Structure 1
Amino acid sequence: MPVIAVFAALLVVVVFLARRRLAVVTVRGESMVPALRPGDRLLVLRGKAVRRGQIVVLEAIGPGMRWREGPLPEVAATDWVVKRVAALPGEPVPPECPGLPSTVPPGTLVVLGDGEVSADSRLWGLVPADRVLGVVLRTLVSTS
């Protein structure tokens, strides 16, 4: 088999695996300013274990879905949001999230935006961990 054919086959496998593990997401809104700005493009690693303090991309609340009682902003089910993990299962809930249990239950996270105005666990409550698309590895293109 010629070297070029082997290289081409290997390249196809690498691209296929990368597409399954990596995603590119564009930041919309200002909830993560100053760390991230609207228009920033982020490289996201799917399936990586989440740690407190990491920035994650998670599935937004869609119409008819509720994580917490009360009115919620309408967001298309296909949208993604970018937030920072503030607490993991078994950890204390941050004081800026009143009305939640004192400890984060299994299978859930507390996420917060870095900006002054952010729809996050203060509004949504505990976020199901299975809503996380992945962990932000780096900013690919920055608007700042």
Structure 2
Amino acid sequence: MVERRRFSRIIYQAPATIRQGGTVVEANIQDLSLHGLLLSTDGNNAELNCDILADIEFTLPSSDIVISLVANLIGIQKNIIHASIDHIDIESIAHIKRLVELNVGNDDLLHRELEHLSDLGEHLSDMGEQL
């Protein structure tokens, strides 16, 4: 099977909260990248909707740093949720970048991913202007 990922995923386990409208689901992050997250739940995710953006929050272990982001729920299969980051503040992405940096161990790879993320943002912005 050909690997199609553009971003390195790191194994990162931490509790997270998913909020979508009035629905709140407690989850656990299984891995993350500069572009998205893989989360697991205890199966209490039936009310989540892939057509609606969700707010996801988690705290970095042994700190008071809270990562907040808005995500597209790409897929929900039983107790697994695939999410891509739609919007994230600069401080939160800086913390995720640092986590990836510490775990990837390859500065060149990290810089390529950051450039791709920047290119993706510019492309989406250009598409918005055309609409």
Whose relative contact order is higher, 1 or 2, with alpha carbons under 8 Å and at least 6 apart? 1
The two structures have a TM-score, normalised by structure 2, of 0.24
More strand by share: 2
More helix by share: 2
Q: Over alpha carbons, which structure has the higher Rg?
A: 1
